[in-house]
Amino acid sequence: MHLDVFRALINAWKPNTSCHKSVLQYMQPHGLRRGRCSKKLMKLVAVDIGGTSARFALAESKDNDRCSLQTVHRYKSQLFTGFDQLLSKFLNDADLDGTTVDLLCLALPGVISGHQARLTNLSWVIDADDIRQRFGVAKVVLMNDFQAACEGLDSLEDDDFVNINIGQRLLSSPRVITGVGTGLGMAWQLSSSSSQVTEGGHIDFAAVDTQQDRLLQYLRGIYPEHVSYERILSGAGLINLYHFIRTDAGMQQDSEITPSSVSDRAEMGEAEAIEAMRLFVRILAGYAGNLAMLFQPFAGLYIAGGITPKIHKWLKSDEFMEYYSAKGRMSSLVLRVPVILVMNEDVGLQGALSHAYNITLPGKR
């Protein structure tokens, strides 16, 4: 699972005031094989781009176990008009020249075609060849953000996880990771292979009760071409649910609502916000149950993303398990699948850095 990079990074790290604490805290290693790094000093940059936040990690690798994490930076994605502007900002902040970067690994939320990616929740098109030519980076690798998150799972510690359903774990089976943030992502992996990209967050939303029937009709008025799970299970989706609850009750809309304020209002006892949160949980549970049937991921069904840690108390509920397991004749099957919340938001960055490191190993370049 390419775990050796994290011990190398932590063991050789020297304090740097620009480092982001959560990455340094959670990048805990699981074994280093000496002599795995290349003899040439290499600068590796890993990037996890989300619709809300973009995270950068710079690491250096040399011979034997001399690998070190140099710096981590975080930016608000929507403050930049494109990736070129964002990369220029990082290079300046890290006091780097692009020509000194040996490998840039980008974990991206969108469809990747060849050397180009069009991001789903940002109006950016990223071209690996253009980046190499403009910035002089030696090599640019594009990967899906949840493909990176899947690879990053192995770097996490026990306290980064919250078990929702213990199930019957079988490590030789597939594992699946999905996640709720600005969008809805999903990837899967077999123990004997690398993580596999999907666009599973964009599958058709399936209503399971009369309230969800009304929700589907409501969303068809907003998204007449396609109502996917991402239109519900995301930050914007939580706002959609809140508006639906108010509309369904004959109330006026609230133009000031944000995803965090829905959660805050629910905590303060507002009935509409509480119902929006409960509906979010029920639909996420049903979606997770669908993934459990589709992949039978007895190695674990992981739920990650920026929203998940903030609402984990809502997800640890009997209602989640009721809707997760409401699969008729397949209920006993999905109840055997371990369901785990991922509380570390840097899992994608850690996966991208691990992927970058392993590309530099002998025989991989």
> What is the DSSP code string of 253-285?
P-TT--HHHHHHHHHTT-HHHHHHHHHHHHHHH
Instruction: Provide the β-strand partners of residue 176.
Output: 188, 301
**With pLDDT > 90 as the criterion, what percentage of the chain qualifies?**
77
pLDDT greater than 50 at residue 236: yes
Phi, psi of 141, rounded to the nearest 5 degrees: -120, 130
Condensed to tens digits (0 to 9), the pLDDT of residues 45-92 reads 999 999 899 999 999 877 545 557 788 999 999 999 999 999 999 999
CA dihedral 12, 135, 195, 120 (to 10 degrees): 130
Which has more pLDDT, 217 or 35? 217
- Which two structure tokens, joined as six digits, stand for 14? 């020297």
Q: What whole-number distance in Å separates Cα of residue 297 and Cα of residue 105?
A: 27
Q: Report the pLDDT value the prediction gives residue 149, as an integer from 0 to 100.
A: 95
In order of their start, the domains of the chain are 4-152+347-359 (3.30.420.40), 157-342 (3.40.367.20)
- The residue written with tokens 């930016």 in the block is 75
Predicted local distance difference test score (pLDDT) of residue 42: 87
Output the pTM of the full model.
Answer: 0.87
Taking the C-alpha atoms of residue 66 and residue 290, their distance in angstroms, rounded to an integer, is 44
- Range in 13-17, 133-137, 230-234 the model is least confident about: 13-17
Q: What angle do CA 284, 185, 306 make, to 5 degrees?
A: 75
Q: Is 42:336 a contact under the CB 8 Å cutoff?
A: no
Residue 228 pairs in a beta bridge with 204
Report which residue type is found at 47: V
- What value does the mean pLDDT take over residues 183-203? 92
Tokens found for residue 200: 């599973």
Whether the per-residue pLDDT at 36 is higher than 80: the answer is no
How would residue 362 be classed by pLDDT, with cut points 50, 70 and 90? Answer: low
In the block, tokens 């509409």 appear at: 272
Q: Report the Cα 330 to chain-centroid distance in Å.
A: 28
Report the alpha-carbon distance of residue 248 to residue 27 in Å, rounded. 45
Task: Please state the φ and ψ torsions of residue 180, each to the nearest 5 degrees.
Answer: -110, 120
Strand order through the sheet with 42-49 = 67-76, 53-61, 42-49, 103-108, 140-144
Amino acid at 71: T
**CA gap 216, 228 in Å, rounded:** 10
- Residue 67: CA count within 13 A, CB half-sphere: 29
pLDDT at 24: 40
Q: Which of 87, 94, 89, 50 is nearest to 69 (CA)?
A: 94
Closest to 350 (Cα-Cα) out of 154, 128, 141: 154
Choose between 273 and 365: higher pLDDT: 273
How large is the average pLDDT for residues 351-363?
81
Residue 18 scores a pLDDT above 70: no
Radius of gyration (C-alpha) of the chain in whole angstroms = 21
